[in-house]
């Protein structure tokens, strides 16, 4: 028996080539994603962009630009439409005595997504810029007139700004900590020079590259612990931190004795919690920048080739990944990569020779699936089965959702579905969704299947007669509705069909003596469920 109610009813563009690299990326799917490369204006007039910081909270990329004699500027590009929305002059800054550096040399830009402040390192000054007003709100002079500034990093949790610098004559590195609220600062010196820096807020550690090691610097004490990565000079390497699992990724571009690129690189993976080296990998290419999307564990890198092409690699840390040929240029210097976490685009800024930047956008293909089908009797009480279409890739995972007259049936998410009497006269469909890593999901619907209606009148037949051998027995069928209803008959002896006894009457024979005689009446009508009714037993004498 079934209840009368249903309680649960309720990038590949022209000139862009993808291959596999020896390290970085890759989705768990066997199919590599396709990426599209486009360009957009950085706001630079002179074609020199030294730094990039992306505020993923506001969706603005902040790019540091400069040209000797013209002064540095920081431009804001809205990533949703790639429009320049801000341009801020940060001033020339003082010339560094003994450092051999023009004060217009803008070194680094960083953004605090919590406070909405942008910081630019130019000369030996840190300029604080308000995102809301696009104006310089503070000019912070750093100590050390002979120190050459390098990089900025921000811990948005503690609201601390970190600026690194080096005295190349004394072979000494400096890390200045600035309180983002009071702008008070303190500087710690180290007996080795410091390259790139980044922050892991979860363990309050500033990570810095140095010669042959990565320095883990305690934010509060300034104490540095060195994690050995290479026997070569690695101060010019780059690094990034996955703030979710505290993994540190250091990429070193190998150089010869005269600091010329060898177009090979090494990748070092460090457990940031234990501060130990966990693995190292090799790759072709002169890597200059790295960023990691902590929400997905995806690594974004950019490197140059001997053929003066810029390429980026995108994918999971420590795995082969997709290489995208970004551009062919007249000459290559260090390029910078950042991540638009909303669109998963790689944003690449060239350090020299271009007034445009690049956006490398994923255009992942969809799963393909043919139309699914439904099998089974379209009658109340029957079980229907969904047969999904053929999918590419074949290993796509499938999920099901059944619909009744266009409305989803709550809880009906199995491959099979049992029809209830209340479904009579309504249309049943199933929607099958196919998903696979590295692909966009796809949903396909089966053709409509109309559930047969129920007869409103189907009375139990009655055998009329004397019940004696040789007598003709007839059947009284009653009123079947809605008329007309086609009736078929089958007389039975002891539950078995009597051959040829398919009329509305039957003559009892000697074989029927003392046997149970019944008649079954079957009522059928197009669009209705066929119903069978069996009479009470008659025993001939």
| Residue 518 contacts residue 535 (beta carbons within 8 Å) | yes
Distance, CA of 127 to CA of 119 (rounded, Å): 5
**Structural domain boundaries enclosing 389:** 368-450
pLDDT score for 2:
28
Measuring CA to CA, which residue among 198, 155, 152, 199 is closest to residue 180?
Answer: 155
Rg (C-alpha) for the chain, rounded Å, is 38
In three-state form (DSSP H/G/I as H, E/B as E, the rest C), the secondary structure along 479-539 is CCECCCCEEEEEEEECCEECCCCCCCEEECCHHHCCCCEEEEEEEECCCECCEEEECCCEC
| Residue 156 contacts residue 162 (beta carbons within 8 Å) | no
CATH of the domain at 516: 2.60.40.2700
Q: Are residues 181 and 209 in the same domain?
A: yes
pLDDT score for 309:
83
pLDDT in tens, 179-230: 999 999 999 999 988 889 999 999 999 999 988 889 999 999 999 998 888 7
Name 195's Cβ contacts closer than 8 Å, sequence gap at least 6: 150, 151, 164, 208, 209, 210, 234, 235, 236, 237, 238
pLDDT in tens, 268-285: 899 999 999 988 888 777
pTM (global) more than 0.75: no
User: Between 353 and 226, where is the model more confident?
Assistant: 226
Measuring CA to CA, which residue among 199, 190, 207 is closest to residue 147?
Answer: 190
Q: Are residues 278 and 372 in the same domain?
A: no
Distance, CA of 159 to CA of 184 (rounded, Å): 12
Q: Are residues 130 and 278 in the same domain?
A: yes
CATH of the domain at 386: 2.60.40.10
Q: Are residues 184 and 45 in the same domain?
A: yes
pLDDT score for 233:
58
Q: Are residues 243 and 191 in the same domain?
A: yes
Q: Are residues 349 and 408 in the same domain?
A: no
**Structural domain ending residue among the three candidates 347, 362, 377:** 362
The angle subtended at Cα 247 by Cα 243 and Cα 249, nearest 5°, is: 110
Q: State how many domains the chain has.
A: 3
pLDDT score for 29:
36
**Structural domain ending residue among the three candidates 362, 384, 418:** 362
The pLDDT mean for the chain works out to 84
Q: Are residues 372 and 352 in the same domain?
A: no
Structure-token pair, residue 30: 């066997």
Distances (CA, A) of 437 to 11, 218, 322, 346, 413: 17, 39, 15, 20, 21
Distance, CA of 135 to CA of 141 (rounded, Å): 18
| Residue 183 contacts residue 140 (beta carbons within 8 Å) | yes
Q: Are residues 90 and 236 in the same domain?
A: yes
Q: Are residues 204 and 281 in the same domain?
A: yes
Q: How many other C-beta atoms are found inside a 10 Å radius of the C-beta of residue 507?
A: 12
Give the three-state DSSP class for 201. Answer: helix
pLDDT in tens, 322-352: 788 888 876 666 788 899 888 889 999 887 7
Q: Are residues 292 and 380 in the same domain?
A: no
Give the three-state DSSP class for 422. Answer: helix
Q: Are residues 391 and 495 in the same domain?
A: no
pLDDT at 101 over 60: no
404 — alpha (psi -120 to 50), left (phi > 0) or beta? beta
> Is 73 inside a domain boundary?
yes
Q: Are residues 500 and 397 in the same domain?
A: no
pLDDT score for 418:
95
pLDDT score for 344:
86
User: Between 497 and 255, where is the model more confident?
Assistant: 497
> Is 13 inside a domain boundary?
no
**Structural domain ending residue among the three candidates 362, 377, 392:** 362
- State the DSSP string of 425-480: T-EEEEEEEEE-TTSB-EEEEPPPEEPPB--SB-PPPEEES---TTPEEEEE----
Name 205's Cβ contacts closer than 8 Å, sequence gap at least 6: 199, 216, 217, 218, 219, 272
> Is 2 inside a domain boundary?
no
User: Between 143 and 170, where is the model more confident?
Assistant: 170
Helical ranges in 294-390 per DSSP H: none
């Amino acid at each position: 028996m079934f209840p009368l109610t249903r309680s649960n009813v309720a990038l590949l563009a022209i000139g862009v080539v993808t291959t596999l690299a020896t390290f970085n990326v890759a989705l768990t799917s066997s199919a590599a994603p396709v990426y599209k490369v486009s360009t957009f204006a950085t706001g630079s007039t002179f074609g020199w962009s030294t730094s990039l910081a992306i505020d993923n909270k506001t969706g603005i990329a902040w790019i540091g630009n400069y040209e000797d004699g013209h002064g540095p500027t920081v431009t804001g590009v809205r990533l949703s439409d790639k429009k320049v929305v801000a341009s801020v002059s940060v001033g020339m800054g003082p010339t560094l005595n003994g450092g051999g550096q023009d004060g217009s040399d803008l070194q680094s830009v960083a953004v605090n997504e919590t406070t909405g402040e942008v910081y630019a390192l130019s000369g030996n000054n840190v300029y604080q810029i308000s995102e809301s007003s696009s104006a310089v709100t503070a000019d912070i002079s750093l100590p050390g007139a002979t120190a050459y500034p390098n990089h900025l990093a921000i811990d948005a949790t503690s609201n601390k700004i970190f600026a690194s610098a080096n005295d190349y004559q004394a072979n000494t590195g400096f890390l200045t900590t600035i309180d983002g609220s009071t702008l008070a600062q303190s500087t710690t010196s180290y007996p080795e020079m410091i390259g790139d820096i980044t922050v892991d807020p979860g363990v309050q550690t500033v990570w810095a590259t140095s010669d042959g090691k990565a320095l883990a610097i305690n934010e509060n004490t300034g104490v540095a612990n060195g994690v050995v990565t290479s026997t070569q000079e690695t101060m010019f390497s780059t690094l990034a931190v996955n703030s979710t699992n505290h993994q540190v990724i250091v990429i070193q571009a190998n150089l010869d004795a005269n600091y010329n690129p060898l177009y090979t690189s090494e990748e070092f993976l460090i457990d940031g919690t234990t501060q130990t080296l966990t693995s190292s990998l090799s790759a072709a290419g002169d890597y200059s920048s790295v960023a990691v999307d902590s929400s997905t564990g995806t690594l974004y890198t950019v490197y140059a080739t001997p053929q003066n092409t810029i390429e980026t690699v995108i994918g999971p840390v420590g795995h082969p990944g997709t290489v995208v040929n970004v551009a062919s240029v007249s000459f290559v210097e260090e390029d910078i990569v950042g991540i638009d976490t909303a669109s998963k685009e790689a944003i690449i800024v060239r350090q020299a020779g271009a007034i445009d930047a690049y956006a490398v956008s994923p255009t992942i293909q969809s799963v393909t699936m043919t139309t699914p089908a439904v099998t089974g009797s379209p009658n109340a009480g029957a079980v229907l089965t969904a047969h999904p279409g053929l999918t590419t890739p074949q290993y796509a995972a499938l999920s099901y959702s059944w619909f009744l007259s266009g409305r989803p049936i709550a809880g009906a998410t199995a491959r099979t579905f049992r029809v209830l009497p209340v479904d009579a006269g309504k249309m049943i469909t199933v929607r099958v969704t196919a998903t696979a890593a590295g692909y966009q999901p796809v949903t396909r619907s089966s053709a409509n299947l109309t559930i047969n209606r129920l007869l409103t009148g189907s009375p139990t037949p009655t055998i009329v007669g004397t019940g004696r051998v040789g007598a003709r027995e007839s059947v009284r069928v009653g009123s079947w509705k809605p008329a007309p209803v086609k009736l078929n008959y089958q007389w039975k002896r002891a539950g078995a069909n009597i051959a040829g006894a398919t009329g509305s009457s039957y003559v009892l024979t000697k074989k029927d003596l003392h046997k149970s005689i019944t008649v079954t009446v079957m009522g059928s009508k197009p669009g209705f469920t066929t119903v069978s009714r069996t009479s009470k037993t008659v025993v001939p004498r």
